[in-house]
Amino acid sequence: MDDGRKSTVRSAVALSTAVLICCLTGCSLGVMTGKMLFGNPKKKCAFSIARHVNLVKDEKKVLVICSVPESIKLEFPSLEIDLQDLVTRQLKRQEIQVINPNKVIDWIQENGNGPSDSSQLARELAASFDTDYIIVVDLERFSYTEENSPTMYQGHAEGNVLAFKVGESDGTKSALHVFSHEFQSVYPRFSPKSAHQMPKETFVNNYLRRVSLELAHLFYDHTVSEEVQ
């Protein structure tokens, strides 16, 4: 067998081994094994795939705003602000230019949360801020326990993520809807944690950071290992 064919066979065996390990022992170990064999490649984000825009390389500025139903705010009064701040921080760590979340919060307080319609909200924000894109996170569900099992912690979040491109014509700014993505999150995915393992506040804070990372992943290219839970 020539060297080229031997190399192909070895690669196929290595790939099969990585897949088998992932199936038998869980994806975390499988990803680690794949990383050792093939490096740590980057995964293109959903926004770049849809719009052919790289927010980092194209030096685009974004504004992040989050919306949470009143029913969820009753249990998590600061969730809207906390999530907005954490998503902004995640994007900023990737050297994406982001509008200061405190300025967005000030705008919200001055405008009574703004209109409930996301498109109208984006237009009003476009008129008030110097930004290229507006990211609207509409969170529809956020919980931290398994259904009918308050002593077992497993985070669940659902919602929609929208992005609007800001433009200007004749001195008037507009916000064009250019991206939509349904969002679902479960953490930990396979094994809920017992309430005896950690305080509720610790788990909720950990899950909130996880949700913010998953949301931020929609807007920047990241390694597969970053998605491992």
Cβ contacts of 29 within 8 Å, gap of 6 or more: 21, 22
Residue 138 confidence class, pLDDT cut points 50, 70, 90: very high
Helices (H) and strands (E) in the chain, counts: 8, 8
Bridge pairing between strands 193-194 and 149-169: antiparallel
Asked if residue 119 lies in contact with residue 49, where contact means CB atoms within 8 angstroms, the answer is: no
Name residue 112's amino acid.
G
∠ CA 12-17-21, rounded to 5°:
150
pLDDT number for residue 181:
98
Q: What is the overall mean pLDDT for the chain?
A: 85
CATH topology of domain 40-227: Rossmann fold (3.40.50)
In degrees and rounded to multiples of 5, residue 30 shows phi and psi of -65, -40
Distance from C-alpha of 204 to C-alpha of 64, rounded to nearest angstrom = 21
| Element (DSSP H or E) covering residue 137 | strand 133-146
Q: Which amino acid is at 118?
A: S
Name residue 173's beta-bridge partners.
168
Q: What is the pLDDT of residue 21?
A: 43
In this predicted structure, what is the pLDDT of residue 14? 45
pLDDT band at 5 (very low <50, low <70, confident <90, very high): low
pLDDT band at 229 (very low <50, low <70, confident <90, very high): low
Q: What is the pTM of this model?
A: 0.81
Give tens-digit pLDDT for 11-67. 444 444 444 444 444 455 544 544 554 456 889 999 999 999 999 999 999 999 999
Query: What is the reported pLDDT for 203?
Result: 95
Specify the pLDDT at position 137: 97
> Domain limits of the chain?
1-39, 40-227
Tens digits of residue pLDDT in 74-116: 999 999 999 999 999 999 999 999 999 999 999 988 987 667 7
Contacts of 6 (CB under 8 A, 6+ apart): none
Among 143, 132, 158, residue whose Cα is nearest residue 64:
132
Q: What is the DSSP letter of 227?
A: G
Higher pLDDT, 42 or 215: 215
Spatial CA neighbour of 228 closest among 216, 214, 209, 215: 214
Is the bond preceding 69 in cis, omega lying within 30 degrees of 0?
no
Q: Average of pLDDT values for 175-182?
A: 97
